[in-house]
Amino acid sequence: MAVMALSSFSMLISCQQNEKQSQDNPNGKPKYFDLPDYFQKEIDLLSKANPEIEKTVSKDDLEETKRLKIKDWELEFSSFKNIDLNKSAYAEFIQVDSANNVLQYSFNNPKSDLSCVRIEMDSLGQPKIISIQRDVVNNLYHTAEFLVYEKGKYYLVEKKQDVKVMGDNQYRVLGNF
DSSP label at 28?
G
Q: What is the largest CA-CA distance in the chain?
A: 50
121-129: long-range contacts (C-beta < 8 A, 24 or more apart)?
A: 126/151, 127/33, 127/38, 127/151
Measured at the alpha carbon of residue 146, what is the angle toward residues 43 and 122, in degrees to the nearest 5? 55
Whole-model pTM: value is 0.81
- Domain residues for the domain of 77 are 2-14+54-176
Looking at residue 137, its pLDDT comes to 82
Residues in the chain: 177
**CB hemisphere CA count around 59 (13 angstroms):** 1
What mean pLDDT do residues 88-113 have? 91
Dihedral sign from CA coordinates of 63, 67, 70, 71: negative
What is the Cα–Cα distance from 52 to 55, expressed in whole angstroms? 9
Question: Does 116 reside within a domain?
Answer: yes
Question: Does 161 reside within a domain?
Answer: yes
Question: Does 143 reside within a domain?
Answer: yes
- What proportion of the chain, given as a percentage, has pLDDT over 90? 68
What is the Cα–Cα distance from 137 to 84, expressed in whole angstroms? 19
Question: Does 166 reside within a domain?
Answer: yes
- What proportion of the chain, given as a percentage, has pLDDT over 70? 84
Structurally, the chain folds into a number of domains equal to: 1
Given a cut of 70, whether residue 34 has pLDDT beyond it is yes
pLDDT digits (tens, 9 = 90+) for 57-95: 999 999 999 999 999 999 999 999 999 999 988 988 999
Looking at residue 177, its pLDDT comes to 97
Question: Does 41 reside within a domain?
Answer: no
**CB hemisphere CA count around 162 (13 angstroms):** 7
Question: Does 89 reside within a domain?
Answer: yes
What is the Cα–Cα distance from 21 to 93, expressed in whole angstroms? 12
Question: Does 22 reside within a domain?
Answer: no
